[in-house]
């Protein structure tokens, strides 16, 4: 077993168990410092695997998963949510009932539809199930009998303009077991029946005069 563990001065180590056959740190329980430095902690590194019985305090980051895409998209979505599938991102929970911090960032997104706005929302599915809205979500239905949304995007009148850096950031509280796969997906739609959406490009999209951008998804699993 390879391990390196430095104990801060005067820290009481109440319980430590190593499993040498798998280089696994199963549990560490820390006592209070006997000095006036009440927040002393373990320092250094552990070379191995954190065992399944290890626990993490609420708020600790367990993993980060990212997807980046530079596809230039032009799509007539109308009022029907369109899945920008290149950014669909899956995460396998390391612990039960974690929270997932979801961020979709669009380098550029724009809608063309004679003055109507554009909208976006985050949806998720568990395993091979069907997609549902991530909650909380906006209360108003901008399309009668249609979708609610997490993000609104202004209509742009000039064919070279976009909303740069539009983003959707949502916290999703799961109620799933460890090793459950959650997939998060961005959906975009318009207020009008003829809405066109453009992603990572402008409507005009002239080369070399107009820009191209990238969009990304970042999922952060947080212990609860």
Computed over every residue of the chain, the mean pLDDT equals: 81
Q: What is the pLDDT of residue 154?
A: 81
- Residues 43, 145, single domain; the answer is no
Beta strands in the chain (DSSP E): 6-7, 11-19, 24-33, 42-43, 49-50, 61-69, 73-76, 82-83, 89-92, 99-112, 118-126, 132-133, 151-153, 163-173, 181-190, 196-199, 215-222
- Residues 106, 162, single domain; the answer is yes
Cβ count within 10 A of residue 82: 19
- Residues 93, 204, single domain; the answer is yes
Q: Quick one: pLDDT band at residue 55, thresholds 50, 70, 90?
A: confident
Please give the tally of structural domains in the chain: 2
Show the domain range for 174. 61-222
- Residues 40, 84, single domain; the answer is no
Q: pLDDT tens digits, residue range 88-144? A: 999 999 999 999 999 999 988 888 876 678 999 999 999 999 999 999 999 998 887
Q: Quick one: pLDDT band at residue 202, thresholds 50, 70, 90?
A: confident
Residue 120 CA: distances (Å) to CA of 77, 81, 148: 12, 8, 9
- 133 found inside a domain: yes
Q: pLDDT tens digits, residue range 57-72? A: 999 999 999 999 999 9
- Residues 79, 37, single domain; the answer is no
| 165 exposure class (CB count in 10 Å sphere: 0-12, 13-18, 19+) | exposed
- Residues 21, 127, single domain; the answer is no
CA angle (203, 204, 205) in 5-degree steps:
95
Cα distance between residue 223 and residue 21, in whole Å: 28
8: DSSP letter: P
Q: Which whole number is the average pLDDT over 28-43? A: 46
- 1 found inside a domain: no
- Residues 111, 183, single domain; the answer is yes
- Residues 107, 43, single domain; the answer is no
**Domain containing 153 — which CATH number?**
2.60.120.1340
DSSP, residue by residue, 153-173: E---SSTT--EEEEEEEEEEE
Cα distance between residue 114 and residue 34, in whole Å: 70
């Amino acid at each position: 077993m390879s391990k390196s563990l430095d104990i801060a001065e005067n820290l009481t180590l109440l319980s430590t168990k190593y499993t040498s056959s798998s280089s696994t740190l199963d549990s560490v329980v820390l006592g209070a410092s006997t000095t006036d430095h009440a927040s002393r902690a373990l320092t250094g590194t552990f070379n191995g695997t954190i065992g399944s019985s290890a626990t993490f305090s609420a708020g600790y980051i367990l993993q980060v998963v990212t997807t980046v895409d530079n596809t230039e998209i032009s799509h007539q979505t109308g009022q029907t949510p369109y899945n920008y599938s290149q950014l669909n991102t899956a995460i396998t929970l390391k612990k039960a009932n974690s929270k997932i911090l979801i961020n979709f960032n669009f380098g550029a997104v724009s809608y063309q539809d004679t003055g109507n706005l554009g909208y976006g929302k985050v949806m998720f599915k568990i395993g091979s199930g069907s997609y549902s809205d991530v909650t909380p979500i906006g209360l108003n239905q901008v399309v009668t009998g249609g979708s609610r949304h997490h993000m609104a995007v202004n209509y742009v009148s000039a064919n070279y303009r976009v909303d740069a850096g539009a983003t959707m950031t949502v916290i999703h509280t799961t109620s799933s077991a460890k090793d459950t796969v959650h997939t998060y997906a961005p959906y975009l739609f318009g207020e009008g029946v003829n809405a066109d959406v453009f992603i990572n490009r402008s409507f005009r999209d002239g080369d070399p005069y107009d820009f191209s951008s990238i969009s990304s998804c970042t999922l952060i699993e947080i212990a609860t």
